[in-house]
Structures are given as structure tokens and as C-alpha cells.
Amino acid sequence: MMLSEKEKMLKGILYDANYDKTLIGERNRCKILCCKYNNMPYENIDERYSILKSILGSYKDSFVIEPSFWCDYGYNIHLGNNFYSNHNLVILDAAGVIIGDNVFIAPNCGIYTAGHPLNVDDRNKGLEYAKPIKIGNNVWIGANVAILPGVTIGDNVTIGAGSIVNKDIPSNTLAVGNPCKVIRNF
């Protein structure tokens, strides 16, 4: 049986998102909702939350995502309780993004499950892959952090501003840099 491009995407194998009508339709739906959210008057709190709830895969009681917020599909994003993101969060959620409780994200951060192959022929064909990202409980992510495909960040972690997280970060640590490395255990 041949897999659809969406099935390939969700399995983390190379897929083509550029011409698949299902994936294009799902991304367009999500981008339209993100655009509505980002352009909604700030004081329209109930309407803003209603839009976010229609984008996200799941969420718990308390979350705040400051505009602007962009994601690809939305349904692969799962937020724990007491989540806060400051302005300009981008989540490329071709794979699952699981975020625990009490996670705070500073401005201008990106969570990127999507990547492109190193092989130039595959890349030029428009193929890409997606690997899930998991962020534990009680995590603070500083400004301008990029979290790359397949990364797991443990519980009770602080990621310093400007870091590029390309490998797993264990629980109870402070990690910073490019590439992001643990500099202190708690």
C-alpha cells in the first residue's frame, strides 16, 4: 500500500508538501486562522482565544500566545497548562510538538519540526522531513531561540537567549549557545 504524503509526513519520512492537495489545504486553513488571530484587535480576548483553540491540536486550561503567532498545521501542537509565549512565535508543526506545563517562551522564538535533506537531488525535488519536538515541564526558553527537528528538552530547564537547540537537553539544566550546550546542572 502506498502512503499518502501526509502519512509520510507524520511517520517522519521524506515527503512532498508542495503539491499534495490535502497538506496544502490544511496549511492554507491554518495560515488563514493565524492571519485572523494576528490581525484581531487585542482587546477581543474571547475571539482571539476562540481562533487559537480552533488552530491547536490540544491545550489545557491556561495558555497565552501573544500575537504574532504562525504555525503550519496547528493540529500537531499540544500545550500543557500555564503556557505563555511572547510575541513572534513560529512553530513549524509538520510533526508533533508536545509542550508541558509551566512553559514560558520569550519573543522571536522558533520551534521547527520540519527539515530538508542534505542530499541536493532530494532537496531540489522539494522533499522534506519532520521529526517531533518535546518540551518538558517548567521550561523557560529565552529570546531568539531556535529548536530544531527531533529535539527533546527535559523538565526544569532554562534555554539561554539566542541558543540553537539541535540536540536533546536533559532535565534540571541551564543550556546556552550555538550549538546549545548544558553549562550548569540544578
**How does DSSP classify residue 2?**
P
Which one-letter DSSP state was computed for residue 137?
S
Write the burial class of residue 151 (CB in 10 Å: 0-12 exposed, 13-18 middle, 19+ buried).
Answer: buried
Among 97, 64, 91, residue whose Cα is nearest residue 78 = 97
- Alpha-carbon torsion 2, 76, 70, 13, what sign? negative
> Is 78 labeled as catalytic in the residue annotation?
no
Catalytic-role residue among 6, 116, 131, 134: 116
Distance CA 17, CA 25 (A): 11
Name the residues annotated as catalytic: 116
